[in-house]
Chains A and B, each alone.
Chain A
Amino acid sequence: MIELRGVVKRYPMRDGSRVILDGIDLRVERGEKIGILGRNGAGKSTLIRLISGAEAPTSGYIGREMSISWPLAFSGAFQGALTGLDNLRFICRIYNVPIATAIPMVQEFSELGAYLNEPVRTYSSGMRARLGFALSMAVEFDCFLIDEVIAVGDNRFHQKCNVELFEKRKERAMIIVAHQPDTIAAHCDRAAVLRAGKLHVFKDVASAYDFYQEEV
């Protein structure tokens, strides 16, 4: 279970400070899939970072009783100076995953071939996303955080990611944030809308989408 109670996030700005998240309450049970809709700048990514624990809330409580991934396919969590394999070794050490089994899996899945031995900064953005996705799959999390639609690589690779995530790991919990409802509608049981720092939680995706559309 993941629980957020009265979570507030405020960032200092030149003219005082700005409240991005203003008292967020959310509960995600094991295996549950929830979508969060929000316009650009609504605070979706901030919310994801708070849930993942990369950042601390200004106030409020975040309880985590299952392991939570870093934002999926997010290549920012890697070091450009290191090779793809060194990044993998680092991830394995941190999350206590046997390196020997992870290497062939990432090699096979990322399809990066010899590039795995090159520094990540020489990768194209598509290659980075492929590495990022493969690394996320190397660690078994109870809950996956998915920021925006996972448009990774070309169509075929996209398909492969969908199988890996939504079919092979369909019993896991997922939190998907997006400004388009497609992925959320396809995979989530319920949805919430992030608007003006408040999170409006709905029982199903359709009513969340109706509420989301009202906003002009």
Chain B
Amino acid sequence: MKAKEPLGRAFAIQLRVIGALLMREVITRYGRHNIGFFWLFAEPMLFTIGVVALWSQIQGGHGLRLPIVAFAVTGYSSVLLWRNMPNRLVGAVAPNLALMYHRNVKVIDMYAARIALEAVGATVSFIVLSTCFTLMGWMQPPEDVGTVLLGWFMLAWFGAALAILIGALSERSEVVEKIWHPVTYLTFPLSGAAFMVDWLPVAAQKAALYLPMVHGIEILREGYFGSTVRAHYDLGYMAGFCLVLTFLGLLQERHISRRLAPE
């Protein structure tokens, strides 16, 4: 279908294109006014700070067994990480259709740029907030940074795979966009951000562990709180789930790319 590029060169072109799309995305989204692209981190940070403040206020009612600030920061940052990626890819093709006139620019490059941007935003927000709160003495440093990174990576993978699938499906049917918003809303309380599986009744534990993001957040919190919590997760289950999701997502992405029609 296209001129055969040596693999190395094709990879270099793709990286260059994704880089260009990243720059473009930052300029169109945040402009050059006021703090500009710092909004990329500021926005998720404001969200998380708000949630930390709220949860700290209602902490007494919950009778939580964990330090509330650390619990809220780990919980809400994780949600932002995996949930914002699909949000940004829903209907993402139309405003970027003009760019597809340039042969090297593909839907998957544009998706990759947006996913990378969301990942960077959520990650920097998580690191800055947890560092600040730790320095202020509101939370303890993580017990095992490696496990925290593993959990964070798994959640990012889940978010990216889900984003490509939902984004591509949203190009095929408008119903997807309509349904996606209530779904994100409803999955928030189920996502594990606001509970640990161990606190649930045994029957509910089993049900909760069907959701892949619950595993990711359990891993993250095991890394953060270490021995003070009993985490329930199955890394193999989550990895398998993400792998299937990635495959389905790329399949759908391919389907829409093949039928793309710039004006």
A interface, CB within 8 angstroms of B: 11, 49, 52-57, 61-65, 68, 70-71, 74, 76-79, 81-82, 86, 89-91, 93-96
Q: What chain A residues lie within 8 Å of B117 (beta carbons)?
A: none
Q: Which of the residues A74, A76, A94 comes within 8 Å of B17, measured between beta carbons? A: A94
Q: What chain A residues lie within 8 Å of B229 (beta carbons)?
A: none
A90 contacts B24, CB within 8 Å?
yes
A79 contacts B102, CB within 8 Å?
no
Q: How far is the CA of A63 from the CA of B257 in the complex (A)?
A: 19
A82 contacts B27, CB within 8 Å?
yes
Please, how many residues of chain B have a CB less than 8 angstroms from a CB on the other chain?
27
Q: What does DSSP make chain B's interface, helix, strand, loop or mixed?
A: helix
A173 to nearest B CB, angstroms? 14
21 cross-chain CB contacts under 8 A: A49-B262, A52-B103, A53-B103, A54-B102, A56-B1, A56-B258, A56-B260, A61-B1, A62-B1, A62-B2, A64-B2, A65-B3, A70-B103, A74-B101, A77-B98, A77-B101, A89-B23, A90-B20, A93-B20, A94-B104, A95-B102
Q: How far is the CA of A49 from the CA of B101 in the complex (A)?
A: 8
A79 contacts B263, CB within 8 Å?
no
Contact mask for chain B residues 81-105; partner A; CB cutoff 8 A; 1 contact, 0 none: 0000000000000000011111111
B interface, CB within 8 angstroms of A: 1-3, 13, 16-17, 19-20, 23-24, 27-28, 98-105, 257-263
Q: Which of the residues A57, A63, A68, A76 comes within 8 Å of B98, measured between beta carbons? A: A76
Q: How far is the CA of A86 from the CA of B2 in the complex (A)?
A: 28
A77 contacts B102, CB within 8 Å?
yes
Give 8 new A-B contacts, CB below 8 A, not counting A79-B28, A94-B17.
A54-B101, A56-B259, A61-B1, A76-B98, A81-B28, A82-B24, A82-B27, A90-B23
B105 to nearest A CB, angstroms? 7
Q: What chain B residues lie within 8 Å of A96 (beta carbons)?
A: 13, 16
Count contacts between A and B, CB distance < 8 Å: 73
Q: What chain B residues lie within 8 Å of A89 (beta carbons)?
A: 23
Q: How far is the CA of A11 from the CA of B261 in the complex (A)?
A: 9
A57 to nearest B CB, angstroms? 8
A79 contacts B262, CB within 8 Å?
no
User: Which B residue sits closest to A2, measured CB to CB?
Assistant: B3
Given contacts A79-B24, A86-B27, A93-B23, contact A54 B100 (CB under 8 A): yes
Q: What chain A residues lie within 8 Å of B27 (beta carbons)?
A: 82, 86
